[in-house]
Copies of this chain bind each other. A is one copy, B any other.
């Protein structure tokens, strides 16, 4: 049975601070319909896809912060996206800010969900690697306060079997900064993930080391291509792109084959869909050979990866 699925990376251009979720969802529905018309089984949207990238602003007003979060999924403003997906029979990946009540306590997560082509939420991921800083740093041209506004995800890196084309595939999720960390891909790969969705909001300007700004696009692709190859999985990277409230966000959303080859890439910084036919069985070319984990990995030599957080230098 064929395990070829067609996937779309639905890049979003900038979202203004004043833009409502209804307006953004309308843009996403347009991309979803285009994806369906181009044969997609799944369409993937960026990280924090429903609003502007609010961690660029510092505030101590918790109500102002919470206004960027979703208290239910779907909620009244996102329900049309789910309804459209169900009508079209297309699955999707969506990133959003999640305000969760757990054991009577309020939590803030940078979250993504995987929705299968029947409209069912089959997986939820909460971002593990929160970048940036906790306190206001006025010297920066803009803030990156993910460590302030979010808690570290408490669900680990999951993997889910979900309907793909004729058969199910194994899907994983990650978000933005997670993609720079090889551990992310490896924990997914060790669960047999065949396709990972990774949404991102990446300012081209990195205030601590601005001399690396021109390398943002290179680094974005480098880490995803290496992660795809080293784990024999498809990777769909989806940007929020373009000049958003005076902050330039990297585009270059892409679909990467298990060989590490880029097979589709956005070339604008606007709403744009790129698609690719992805044969999940091609993962086996890597997973059964050069990256046959059961044959070649040597976990006894990897202990430092979990035994320490920071570096332990030789005497």
Q: Contact residue range for chain A? A: 35 or more
| A287 surroundings in chain B (CB, below 8 A) | 311
Asked whether A215 lies within 8 Å of B294 as measured between CB atoms, the reply is no
The answer for the CA separation of A189 and B159 in the assembled complex, in Å, is 27
The segment from A35-43, A94-102, A205-213 that touches chain B is: A205-213
Stoichiometry, copies per complex: 2
| A294 surroundings in chain B (CB, below 8 A) | 309-311
Asked whether B219 lies within 8 Å of A229 as measured between CB atoms, the reply is yes
Kindly state whether residue A291 has any CB partner on chain B within 8 Å.
yes
Known: A183-B302, A302-B187, A308-B190. A170 touches B219 (CB 8 A): no
The segment from A4-12, A64-72, A111-119, A220-228 that touches chain B is: A220-228
Known: A299-B308, A302-B305, A302-B306. A313 touches B226 (CB 8 A): no
The answer for the CA separation of A190 and B181 in the assembled complex, in Å, is 13
Q: Would you give the shortest CB distance from A131 to chain B, in whole angstroms?
A: 7
Asked whether B293 lies within 8 Å of A182 as measured between CB atoms, the reply is no
| A185 surroundings in chain B (CB, below 8 A) | 182
Kindly state whether residue A218 has any CB partner on chain B within 8 Å.
yes
Known: A152-B298, A313-B170. A304 touches B191 (CB 8 A): yes
Q: Would you give the shortest CB distance from A190 to chain B, in whole angstroms?
A: 5
Q: Would you give the shortest CB distance from A104 to chain B, in whole angstroms?
A: 24
Q: Would you give the shortest CB distance from A72 to chain B, in whole angstroms?
A: 26
Known: A219-B260, A230-B181, A291-B180. A187 touches B301 (CB 8 A): yes
Asked whether A293 lies within 8 Å of B313 as measured between CB atoms, the reply is no
Q: Which of B187, B260, B295, B297 contacts A181 (CB 8 A)?
A: B297
The answer for the CA separation of A304 and B159 in the assembled complex, in Å, is 13
| A170 surroundings in chain B (CB, below 8 A) | 313-314
Given pairs A182-B183, A294-B310, 17 additional interface contacts (CB within 8 A): A128-B298, A157-B301, A161-B315, A180-B290, A182-B185, A182-B230, A183-B302, A189-B311, A190-B311, A192-B313, A208-B289, A209-B289, A212-B259, A222-B229, A300-B306, A305-B306, A306-B306
**10 A-B contacts (beta carbon < 8 Å):** A128-B298, A170-B314, A183-B302, A190-B311, A192-B312, A208-B289, A215-B260, A223-B229, A225-B226, A294-B309
